Structure 1
Amino acid sequence: MKNELQRKMVRERYGEIALTSGKCCKSHEKEAGDTKDLSLTMGYSEEELRAAPDGANLGLGCGNPTAIAQLKAGETVLDLGSGAGFDAFLARNQVGAAGLVIGVDMTSEMIEKARSNAEKQGYSNVEFRLGEIENLPVADAAVDVIISNCVINLSPEKDKVFREAFRVLKPGGRFHISDIVRLAGEPTENGHKDPKICNCIVGAERVDRLERLLDDAGFENIRIKKTETSDNLLKAWENSDLPLEHVVSAVMEGRKPV
């Protein structure tokens, strides 16, 4: 019941965002020009921002997972919580016509928006599937790389997310995730009842616990590191109502053993 309540709040809020192109919290309440500035703060380049279809970038991330993933032509990439498709579209440019990008999101409005963006551009190497990241609609050992941008913190069952990620990766497959993590303290008590769970801070987990969950799922070469852009991003959020103490934007990386 607790987990479903949290999912319901997240699904409804992000459904509203998809329909209105609104933002998830005060930190993200930006006009189009400010969305661009915020995205630059997250580590995206001007070229990447120009390459994405109109309406794909809602300014909801906390990093640039495609910049750290070192994607190769022909790879199959899975984007967890793909939203309107921004990172998936950037990834498809890197994997090329021989590659495939699969976006999974639990919000039907986001899936519709992403599919519309892809159809308008005539993209044939990217697809979007409705589903939960704790129960991925993806076959075993089907993808080479997993990316995600500020989504894992929203899950009430992060252990399931990591186990599912391990399941769908090919042996030797890797993940490169941007997310908000906690250096100290605890996730907000009763966060599953707090509408602010959607702001990427309330559900942020401690680094040591994330490392343990990833290890328990079977991953190796685990690395969780504060990003170079974290201070600038949190500074951009400092006039918001977010509880920013003890949190940073971080990169999470790991590999499934061969």
Structure 2
Amino acid sequence: MHVNARFWDRLAPRYARMQLRDPEAYEKKLAMTRAWLGPEAQVFEFGCGTGTTALKHAPHAGHVTAIDCAPAMIGIARQKAAEAGIGNVAFRVGDLADMPDSSAAFDMVMAHNVLHLLPDRAEALARVHRMLKPGGVFVSSTACAAGAPRLFRWVLAAGHALRLLPLFNPLTADALRAEIAATGLGIVEDWRPEGGRVPVLFLIAQKPG
């Protein structure tokens, strides 16, 4: 288990109890995403955490496959699915790199609060492109911390160097847009919620049909 998995495993119970910082923004993201779903939609989410977003979208899709590297996160997600009686979501412990990526199997791939944590974002985005069906969409919400206070960025870097915190790449919104566009996905929706210590970029990008 790598350092990120160990960190998120320890954090899982506390993470599950955390309140949304901006419920209004979260609901808007859900609504924007659901506009691209349908009753037969096959959805994949990586870095799903305790499964909240996957479970929110499940009633609007055919099936959702959701993975996370932390077994404790997946355990909580499965419990939440069972308690809610939601049966069209499969929660699995795993990494995006372990997923088959050549079958164009999914109508939607989601990555929320995870792209800035990846050591090889370019490879991950290329894999997402391959996993999508023609016309499928990639939905992401990503912290773009390049403009965050210097002390905040220093603490994150020092914590990772000491193996206390996961990797946290300080992205800019423009750089992330360019990386996604470089895979051949076309950005069709782009929204930046106001407020918050760290700017967030929510976007939807489509694979050509």
Return the TM-score normalized by structure 2.
0.81
Q: State the partner residue of 2:143.
A: 180
Q: State the partner residue of 1:68.
A: 32
1:149 aligns with 2:112: yes
1:102-161, Cα deviation, whole Å (9 max, x unpaired): 101111221222223223444321101222134435662111112222111111111111
Report sequence identity in percent.
Answer: 22
How many pairs align?
201
How many Å separate the matches in 1 of 2:116 and 2:50?
Answer: 18
Q: State the partner residue of 1:40.
A: 23
Tell me: CA distance 1:93–1:223, structure 2 relative to 1, closer, same or farther (3 Å).
closer
1:215-237, Cα deviation, whole Å (9 max, x unpaired): 2222123654312xx31xx1xxx
**RMSD over aligned Cα atoms:** 2.9
SS, match of residue 38 in structure 1: coil
Q: Which runs of 5+ in 2 are unaligned?
A: none
Match of 2:45 among 54, 79, 86: 79
1:67 Cα offset (Å): 2.5
1:255 Cα offset (Å): 0.8
Return the TM-score normalized by structure 1.
0.67
How many Å separate the matches in 1 of 2:80 and 2:108?
Answer: 23
Matched residue type, 1:109: A
After TM superposition, the structure 1 stretch with the greater mean CA deviation from structure 2, 202-211 or 145-154, is 202-211
1:114 aligns with 2:106: no
Q: State the partner residue of 2:170.
A: 204
Tell me: CA distance 1:66–1:37, structure 2 relative to 1, closer, same or farther (3 Å).
closer
Tell me: CA distance 1:183–1:67, structure 2 relative to 1, closer, same or farther (3 Å).
farther
Match of 1:193 among 152, 161, 172: 161
Match of 2:199 among 248, 253, 257: 248
1:193 Cα offset (Å): 2.0
How many Å separate the matches in 1 of 2:53 and 2:102?
Answer: 21
Tell me: CA distance 1:128–1:65, structure 2 relative to 1, closer, same or farther (3 Å).
farther
Match of 2:59 among 93, 103, 115: 93
Match of 1:167 among 98, 122, 130: 130
Q: State the partner residue of 1:15.
A: 9
Q: State the partner residue of 1:28.
A: none
Matched residue type, 1:66: L
1:86 Cα offset (Å): 0.5
How many Å separate the matches in 2 of 1:208 and 1:37?
Answer: 26
1:87 Cα offset (Å): 0.5
8 Å contact kept, 2:138–2:206: yes
Q: State the partner residue of 1:52.
A: none
How many Å separate the matches in 1 of 2:29 and 2:111?
Answer: 6
